[in-house]
Structure 1
Amino acid sequence: MTNAAVHMEGQLHAPAHGAVATEAVHTKGQQHPIKLYLVVWGWLFVLSTGSYLVDYFGLQGYLRWSLILLFMMLKAGLIVAVFMHMAWERLALAYAILLPPIAVLVFVSIMVLESEYTHFLRVLFFASPS
């Protein structure tokens, strides 16, 4: 073979060796440092404590529910990202799993705004004259 043919053959087989090595790593499983899981566990503990303190201090109204929902979403996000390994998945898979709940939250928010408007109209027009 000529030098060009040997060089071309080397280029053709180079990605195959990389693919085999990558496949071998994926079959054994991906290892993450234990420190990552301990840090996430710590953050989950802190967020749960914050959620408990909302009740302990007796917060009421929108502040209470906003804080509870915030803590809940942060804890769920940490669990999904780290313990369910979504942080290391392809972006398309992450979008396929995360976008539907986000869309549901947007639609629920729209329904809440519409329900308040509907309640306002019913009070305005169906209130008994006094």
Structure 2
Amino acid sequence: MSQDHAQQHPLSTYLWVWFLLFLLSVFSYMVDYVGFEGLLKWSLITLFMLLKAGLIVAVFMHMVWERLAIVCAVLVPPGVLVFLMLLMALEADYTLSMRLRFFSG
């Protein structure tokens, strides 16, 4: 007979993560409340969003306790997609600047 051993994590770990998620949400709202504008505002909001998503994936989806192969299988493809999106954004910016340079009066 095989015995299934469920891995139990201390409740304090989850409570700390909930607290950190709450704190990051407060910081995200404070960015808007303080009145930051432009690139700084959106950079901070995106940073807090990515930190919250990373905490959720790491703890609540148990990626912290998984093997490296599973972590790579889950996290590497979105990372590659983000990298390719950045390359496309750079190319689009270059194309727009060249069109504005050569086709404007």
> Superposition pairs for residues 1-130 of structure 1, below 5 Å?
24=3, 27-127=4-104, 129=105
Please tell me the residue identity of whatever aligns with 1:80: V
Number of aligned positions between the proteins: 105
- Counterparts of 2:56 and 2:71 in 1: how far apart (Å)? 14
Q: CA deviation at 1:58?
A: 2.1
Q: CA deviation at 1:95?
A: 0.2
- Counterparts of 2:15 and 2:99 in 1: how far apart (Å)? 53
Please tell me the residue identity of whatever aligns with 2:40: L
**Backbone CA RMSD of aligned residues:** 1.4
Q: What are the ranges of 5 or more consecutive residues in structure 2 without an aligned counterpart?
A: none
- Counterparts of 2:82 and 2:39 in 1: how far apart (Å)? 17
Please tell me the residue identity of whatever aligns with 2:77: P
Q: List per-residue Cα deviations over 1:43-94 (Å, max 9, x = no partner).
A: 0001111111111122122111211111111101100110111111110000
Larger Rg: 1
Query: When the two structures are superposed, what TM-score results if normalisation uses the length of structure 2?
Result: 0.93
Q: Give the number of the structure with larger relative contact order, counting CA–CA contacts within 8 Å between residues 6 or more apart.
A: 2
SS at match of 2:8: coil
Deviates more, 1:60-69 or 1:39-48: 60-69
Q: What are the ranges of 5 or more consecutive residues in structure 1 without an aligned counterpart?
A: 1-19
Q: CA deviation at 1:100?
A: 0.8
- Counterparts of 1:94 and 1:71 in 2: how far apart (Å)? 22
Structure with higher helix content: 1
Query: When the two structures are superposed, what TM-score results if normalisation uses the length of structure 1?
Result: 0.76
**Superposed structure 1 runs of 4+ greater than 6 Å apart:** none
